[in-house]
A and B are shown apart, each in its own frame.
Chain A
Amino acid sequence: MAGPLIPSWLPDHHPFYVSPPTARRIRRVFKPNRIFLNIPFASRYSNLEVAVLSTATAYDLHPCMAKERSKLEIRMRKIVELVLTSRYGFTDLSYATRMNMPFELGVLLAWGKETFVITSHPSPTIKALSDLNFGDIEFHRRWVKLLIEKFSRWIERTATAKRLTSATLLTRYRRWQAFRRSLGGDFDRLTPAQLANLVGVAEDEFSVRFSDSRS
Chain B
Amino acid sequence: MSDLASVARRLEREVGLPAADAMRIARKLNKLAGSVSWATPVAEKDEKARASAKVATRKSSKAHTAKKR
Contact = CB atoms under 8 A, between A and B. Distances in A.
Interface residues of B, number: 30
A167 B46 contact: yes
Interface string B39-51: 0111111100110
A183 B37 CA distance: 17
A132 B17 CA distance: 44
B46 A183 contact: no
Given A167-B50, A186-B24, A201-B14, A206 B42 contact: no
B44 A212 contact: yes
B15 A194 contact: yes
What does DSSP make chain B's interface, helix, strand, loop or mixed?
A: helix
A194 B16 contact: yes
Contact of B14 (A175, A186, A190, A197): A197
Size category of the A interface is 20 to 34
Contact of B41 (A183, A184, A200, A212): A212
A186 B21 CA distance: 9
Interface in B22-43: 24-25, 28-33, 35, 37-38, 40-43
Interface string A157-174: 000000001011001100
Nearest to B53: A167
A175 B46 contact: no
Nearest to B29: A202
A206 B6 CA distance: 12
A182 interface: yes
A206 B43 contact: no
A23 to B, nearest CB: 23
A201 B28 contact: no
B66 interface: no
A186 B7 contact: no
B60 to A, nearest CB: 20
A202 to B, nearest CB: 5
Given A167-B46, A201-B15, 6 more contacts: A178-B37, A186-B28, A202-B32, A207-B33, A207-B38, A215-B43
Interface of A: 165, 167-168, 171-172, 175, 178-179, 182-184, 186, 190, 194, 197-198, 200-202, 205-212, 214-215
Interface of B: 1-2, 7, 10-11, 14-17, 21, 24-25, 28-33, 35, 37-38, 40-46, 49-50
